[in-house]
Structure 1
Amino acid sequence: MTANDHLDYFKPQLVVIPCGSRKLGSPARAADIYVGSYHRACRKAADALRPDRLLILSARHGLLDLDDVIEPYDTPHGAADAVTGRVLLEQATMRDIVGLDPVVALGGARHISLVRSVWPHIHTPLAGTHGMGEQMARLAAIREGRDYI
């Protein structure tokens, strides 16, 4: 399967990508505040899938639109004050996006687990990878339309 197969036969209504621990030092749009290489790779792969909508899953804020302005924070997924699946479901319900399908989630296991709490039917192109190197390679393949399975 290639990313082009996805583009030709599978246009996601929504792609959810992870936030990142590396951030700018001042308030910024969600599209700009996360500066780490993993977040950026997820963003480029998501853009290549041409979704109807792209959201960032912030460990502190939950679902963010690209234009949402936030302050820098230091909350990793899984921390006591991190967003929960229940909060995500409430946010998705308020945004009237719970019924979207297909939904793609790019990210690691914690990220996928949270997204799955709202959209149990998500597509996870990074599933089966072993470590960050394989994930980055698969994200590059998705971005470039090359085989990744």
Structure 2
Amino acid sequence: MIVIVPCSAAKLAVDRLTPACRLYTGSYHLMCRRAAERIAGPTGVLVLSALYGFVRLDDELLPYEQRMDTAGRVSAEQLRAQAAGLGILAAPDLIALGGRAYVDAVTAVRPDTLRPLDGCRGIGEQRSRLARLAAADDPLGLAREFAG
């Protein structure tokens, strides 16, 4: 089981390598990560960085400014190559949490990706689903239900 969450524009204000788990400080990222850790445990969570691609929470990164919906983002080819090395292609279940650009990038690598936030009418509804996932007795079952 692997759950992929988006990076965040808000980052720790440092000018040195920092583990991804500390670098990303945005509230939406943190909500996604809490839900992801409930579903897959901390070792089953990866971040999709718009610059670096798929990263583990303990990977050390330099701060950056890059969005998934702008030029300069990680390429689909890079993501496919990383996916093989990180076990994303072989994982029995893959879940992507986040906004459309991030989830679409994951789904392009693996079309059977579960997308529990699809169908939400806005960020408020996404946050509500994420909170429910984080608090659920069976977060994986709820994620599957949301993914429909």
- Interval containing the TM-score (normalised by the shorter chain): 0.7 to 0.9
* Aligned partners of 1:15 and 1:104 also within 8 Å: yes
* Aligned partners of 1:46 and 1:54 also within 8 Å: yes
Residue 28, structure 1, aligned to residue 18, structure 2 = yes
Specify which structure has the higher proportion of helix: 2
Residue 117 of structure 1: SS of its match in structure 2?
A: helix
| TM value normalised by structure 1 | 0.86
* Aligned partners of 2:88 and 2:94 also within 8 Å: no
Cα distance in 2 for partners of 1:95, 1:141 equals 28
Give the aligned residue type for 1:23.
Answer: K
Aligned residues: 137
CA shift digits 1:77-127 (9 cap, x unpaired): 122110122210011123343121210000111011100111110111111
* Aligned partners of 2:37 and 2:44 also within 8 Å: no
Correspondent of 1:127 among 109, 118, 122: 118
Q: Kindly indicate whether structure 1 or structure 2 has the higher relative contact order, using CA contacts under 8 Å at least 6 residues apart.
A: 1
Cα distance in 1 for partners of 2:39, 2:87 equals 22
Structure 1 equivalent of residue 53 of structure 2: 62
Cα distance in 1 for partners of 2:86, 2:125 equals 33
CA shift digits 1:3-34 (9 cap, x unpaired): xxxxxxxxxx1100000000011131001101
Residue 130 of structure 2: SS of its match in structure 1?
A: helix
Structure 2 stretches lacking a partner, 5+ long:
none
Give the aligned residue type for 1:98.
Answer: L
Structure 1 equivalent of residue 4 of structure 2: 16
Structure 1 stretches lacking a partner, 5+ long:
1-12
* Aligned partners of 2:53 and 2:74 also within 8 Å: yes
Cα distance in 2 for partners of 1:123, 1:31 equals 23
- Identical-residue share of aligned pairs (%): 35
Correspondent of 1:72 among 57, 63, 73: 63
- Alignment RMSD, CA only? 1.6
Residue 104, structure 1, aligned to residue 80, structure 2 = no
| TM value normalised by structure 2 | 0.86
Structure 2 equivalent of residue 44 of structure 1: 34
Give the aligned residue type for 1:91.
Answer: Q
